[in-house]
Amino acid sequence: MSGEDAPAQQQNAVDQKQETKPAEEPKAEPPKTESAPAGTAEAAATPAATTDKAPEEETFTYRALVLTGYGGYDKVKLQVKKGKPALKAGEVLVRVKACGLNFADLMARQGLYDRLPSPPVTPGMECSGVVEAVGDEVTDRKVGDKVMVLNRYGLWQDVAAVPASHTFLIPDGMTFEEAAALPVNYITAYMMLFDFGNLRPNQSVLVHSAAGGVGIAATQLCKTVKDVTVFGTASASKHETISSGGVTHPIDYRTKDYVEEVRKISPKGLDIILDPLGGSDTHKAYNLLKPMGKLITYGAANMLAGQKKNLLAVAKNWYHQFSIHTLSLIQGNKSVCGFHLGYLDGETELITQAMNTILDLYKQGKVKPCIDSTWHLEQVGEAMRKMQERNNIGKVILTTEPMPEEEKKEETKKEDKKEDKKKDDKKKEDKKKDDGKKEEKKEEKKKEEPKKEEKKEEEKKEEAKKEEK
């Protein structure tokens, strides 16, 4: 996942005349393929294989999601690329079946994640698929192997050239969706709980967004240790699911103060707190630790407010960013850790160890990825919205299966609706600007929630219709 591991096919990308960030290491010679004209979501429907008689390296086409610039959901576009990715030594070519969505992808779209090169670039840190070709010096993977892949970026496309060391064999019985849902969330949860957290029997853990991808993985992993108490935050509608998944005490963070709720049950505080929120929540977490407690912060979800970069939210998060003096740590006997898989460049051994343990637990039936929903590449915007608005329970997955023509028409209608919604949003925003008072804005947002909920209901009904078809 280091700079040198950037997928080779990035270099064939269309629209690459805008230079991407210089890579940390010099690149291999670019493949001698020509750039294809910029594709659109419609053009993407063209089958990947062409009937052209030119050598496959040149006629080969594939679809790729491309972040074309920082901003809203529509900044990620489906494009067709031409030219088969060349394999470097140690790499394999994977025919991608399913991809996982992560919070870092949402941050990246807004320009808030520095591990993704500048647009245009293909996002995607994890996928599953089948090995279609192996490069020189690859000994432990062969054509036909079903694998899951973890990479710094570049996996949201039909094919990806990746280092063989970034692939893991999919165990029998695991679906491609599950395999795409596993790497980022489970390795993150595993390393936080068992490396930094040093989780042991009888301890207590707070899991924020317990219905999210990392939340569910963390809960399942907590349950592999005897008598661990899991406090999990989620909106009330998700409590039944997270309880049955292993959360001992679900807390509705929208209506209750989670600190108070935890203190009621565990007055001395907690042993481990996983914090994906950042800002003022990190302060709360620190104060909620027991002596010898560990706070593991792994994100800044509080920065994400709305589709586009919200400067106020970003500034607030920076302003409230947790900073700690060692004397305070000493007097409290506390630990503060930061984790982000995206920055674990080159730590192949650590990651492989974690993955092997997780796969063993999977084979023993102790962990199992939970899929919220699967979307076609064309629907990536909707998929991102679902995750960003916290409407998911479990993992949001993209599939490379071609989208049936009928659904596409339906999608177009939805697109129109979205356009209307956008205009609505715009109007609302203009109104807000007129108001100019931040606090009032918040109040309004609350009032708007029910409207949004209605809209979502409508969307759900439409989904249901689609399902019937």
Contact residues for its own copies, defined by CB under 8 A: 191, 195-196, 198, 278, 282, 291-292, 294, 297-300, 321-340, 343-345, 347, 350
Q: How far is the CB of 304 from its own copies (least distance, A)?
A: 15
- The answer to whether 271 and 293 have CB atoms below 8 angstroms apart is yes
Q: What angle do CA 267, 269, 275 make, to 5 degrees?
A: 140
Q: How far is the CB of 221 from its own copies (least distance, A)?
A: 15
Using DSSP, state whether 156 is helix, strand or coil.
Answer: coil
Q: How far is the CB of 332 from its own copies (least distance, A)?
A: 7
Which residue, 5 or 382, is less far from its own copies as judged by CB? 5
Which residue, 198 or 412, is less far from its own copies as judged by CB? 198
Query: Cα–Cα distance between 418 and 403 in angstroms, integer?
Result: 19
Distances in Å between the alpha carbon of 387 and those of 107, 192, 383? 12, 22, 7
Which residue, 30 or 291, is less far from its own copies as judged by CB? 291
Which residue, 114 or 457, is less far from its own copies as judged by CB? 114
Query: Cα–Cα distance between 458 and 347 in angstroms, integer?
Result: 46
Query: Residue 220 gets which letter from DSSP?
Result: H
CB atoms within 10 A of CB 129: 29
Q: How far is the CB of 283 from its own copies (least distance, A)?
A: 10
Q: How far is the CB of 354 from its own copies (least distance, A)?
A: 10
For residue 254, with 0-12 CB atoms within 10 Å meaning exposed, 13-18 middle and 19 or more buried, which class applies? exposed
Which residue, 104 or 160, is less far from its own copies as judged by CB? 104
Query: Cα–Cα distance between 337 and 214 in angstroms, integer?
Result: 17
Which residue, 94 or 344, is less far from its own copies as judged by CB? 344
Q: How far is the CB of 319 from its own copies (least distance, A)?
A: 12
Which residue, 209 or 400, is less far from its own copies as judged by CB? 209
Query: Cα–Cα distance between 166 and 189 in angstroms, integer?
Result: 18
Q: How far is the CB of 391 from its own copies (least distance, A)?
A: 26
Q: What angle do CA 88, 38, 122 make, to 5 degrees?
A: 45
- The answer to whether 203 and 231 have CB atoms below 8 angstroms apart is no
Which residue, 255 or 326, is less far from its own copies as judged by CB? 326
The torsion angle over the Cα atoms of residues 414, 416, 422 and 428, rounded to 10 degrees, is -100
Query: Residue 152 gets which letter from DSSP?
Result: S
Q: Mutual orientation of helices 183-190 and 348-363 as an angle, nearest 10°?
A: 100
Q: How far is the CB of 282 from its own copies (least distance, A)?
A: 6
